[in-house]
Amino acid sequence: MRHIAVIGSGPAGYYTAEACQKQFGEDVRVDILDRLPVPFGLIRSGVAPDHQSIKGVSRRYEAVALTDNVRFVGNVSVGQDVTIDELRERYDAVVLATGAPLDRPLEIPGADLPGVVGSAAFVGWYNGHPDHADLAPPLLGKGAVVIGNGNVALDVARVLAKSEAEFEGADIVAHALEALGRSQIETVTLLGRRGPHQIAMTPKELGELGDLARATPVVDPADLPPPEDDAVLEPGQRKSVNHLRSFAARGTDPAKPVHIVFDFFAMPVAIEGDGRVERVIVERTALDLDGRARGTGETYVIPAALVVSCIGYRTPPIPGIPYDDRAGRFANDEGRILPGLYAVGWARRGPTGTIGTNRPDGFAIVEKIAGDLGEGSGKPGRPALDALLADRRVEVVTFRDWQKIDTAEIAAARSGAPREKFISVEAMLGTAKS
């Protein structure tokens, strides 16, 4: 028997558990620990609430969770309730699938002004993550600036621009829907420090901006390279750039009061305001031969009451675990960190790729674990963890407990309200243990 502890119940964690089942069959016990009483990590609190089809993948994780050899151990904070070393003493392998929940810092003057928020906080706010439910982003100014040209920046711009009716069927939390309903934002400026060919936006997601009820994407045709230059792009990127070309050709729609402005070759250099953000100072850029953005010295001002920085994420370090500070993730050799300790998903490779990228990642790490472990090392696994947590009076939430939370949330949605989520750990625990 092999005993494996996976820390983090997001996509990387569940794909690792699925891979363990495929690799070891009945000869494995996997415990998936999470500090929250609810599973699925980014699926619940990162994927945009209006992208329900992406969230549907959690049904696949549920099938894994409901087997006998995989267990969800929620409401257990590693580092607080139990240490990594204690887990390593009890399990044959410990896999860090902790994702990258921290924002990469925006290192420009004024980045700490009220009204400047990171995407982890903003996305967590509209998705009801307990850490960010109280964010209250300022939505009553006319301008918002979204920094970055990736899919997260797209999610944030779209959520800011959508009408209330367009969230029909979404699981956006009521406090965010209500605040967005009162939003006065008329212009969402997407700042890209490089150009249209360098965007990190996938075509399906970018295309959605062309079909919004009250918002129109604005692209300056002068920013677009000659069409024949698109030939060098890989097909997906070419499709994305085609969307930008069609937005540029279409121009603005006078019937739509909200503009999502793509400002390319635009690098934020400072954020200013009297006690809160009022404007972003932007420097025009040009691309070096190696494709990097270089400031040209020309600056201009964009008025904004809200700035959302969507420039990537970091994995929180754990004291004593080797960490690559530059990359913002655990230092590892193809997933191996220390004997018996592994990383997978964003904690291994950094915040790149789609949800599905984590599946081969999970399978690859389990292959390495299988090679390293052989027949197992005779460690006790589950019973030893249970004894430790009972001793420390940790209130563990099981997958069946989580299903009560899920049922209660769905019932709230059926009552006609937006699909409300529990946003405090206390409320989650109360329902789980009712």
Query: Given candidates 152, 366, 389, 396, which one binds ligand NAP under the rule CB under 6 A?
Result: 152
Q: How far apart are CA 231 and CA 151, in angstroms?
A: 23
Q: Judged by CB under 6 A, does residue 263 bind ligand NAP?
A: no
Least Å from the CB of residue 392 to ligand NAP: 35
For residues 28 and 152, which CB has a smaller minimum distance to ligand NAP in the complex? 152
Q: How far apart are CA 169 and CA 50, in angstroms?
A: 7
Q: Judged by CB under 6 A, does residue 354 bind ligand NAP?
A: yes
Q: How far apart are CA 111 and CA 147, in angstroms?
A: 12
x/- mask, ligand NAP, residues 162-201, rule CB under 6 A, reads ------------------------------xxx---x-x-
Contacts of 222 (CB under 8 A, 6+ apart): none
Contacts of 423 (CB under 8 A, 6+ apart): 128, 129, 130, 133, 173, 175
Contacts of 328 (CB under 8 A, 6+ apart): 100, 102, 104, 312, 313, 314, 315, 350
For residues 143 and 381, which CB has a smaller minimum distance to ligand NAP in the complex? 143
Stretch binding ligand NAP (CB under 6 A), from 134-142, 149-157, 178-186, 393-401 = 149-157
Least Å from the CB of residue 150 to ligand NAP: 2
Q: Give the three-state DSSP class for 39.
A: coil
Least Å from the CB of residue 104 to ligand NAP: 7
User: 295 to 314, contacts with ligand NAP by CB under 6 A?
Assistant: 310-312
Q: Judged by CB under 6 A, does residue 148 bind ligand NAP?
A: yes
For residues 308 and 428, which CB has a smaller minimum distance to ligand NAP in the complex? 308
Least Å from the CB of residue 90 to ligand NAP: 33
Q: Judged by CB under 6 A, does residue 149 bind ligand NAP?
A: yes
Report how far apart the first and last C-alpha atoms of the chain are (Å, whole number). 34
For the chain, helix (H) and strand (E) counts, in that order, are 15, 19
Least Å from the CB of residue 59 to ligand NAP: 18
For residues 128 and 312, which CB has a smaller minimum distance to ligand NAP in the complex? 312
Whether the Cβ atoms of residue 243 and residue 206 lie closer than 8 Å to each other: yes
Look at residues 134, 136, 154 and name the one whose alpha carbon lies nearest to residue 146: 154
Q: Judged by CB under 6 A, does residue 116 bind ligand NAP?
A: no
Least Å from the CB of residue 409 to ligand NAP: 22
For residues 193 and 419, which CB has a smaller minimum distance to ligand NAP in the complex? 193
Q: Judged by CB under 6 A, does residue 147 bind ligand NAP?
A: yes
Look at residues 230, 249, 231 and name the one whose alpha carbon lies nearest to residue 241: 230
Query: Given candidates 155, 171, 263, 406, which one binds ligand NAP under the rule CB under 6 A?
Result: 155
User: H or E segment at 180?
Assistant: helix 174-181
Q: How far apart are CA 108 and CA 430, in angstroms?
A: 42
Least Å from the CB of residue 333 to ligand NAP: 22
The owner of tokens 């139990």 is 82
Return phi, psi of residue 159, to 5°.
-65, -40
# residues near ligand NAP by CB under 6 A: 23
Q: Judged by CB under 6 A, does residue 353 bind ligand NAP?
A: yes
Residue 337: how many other CB atoms lie within 10 Å: 21
For residues 311 and 394, which CB has a smaller minimum distance to ligand NAP in the complex? 311
For residues 312 and 335, which CB has a smaller minimum distance to ligand NAP in the complex? 312
For residues 45 and 149, which CB has a smaller minimum distance to ligand NAP in the complex? 149
Least Å from the CB of residue 61 to ligand NAP: 17
Q: How far apart are CA 412 and CA 419, in angstroms?
A: 6
Residues that bind ligand NAP (CB under 6 A): 147-153, 155, 192-194, 198, 200, 202, 205, 293, 310-312, 351-354
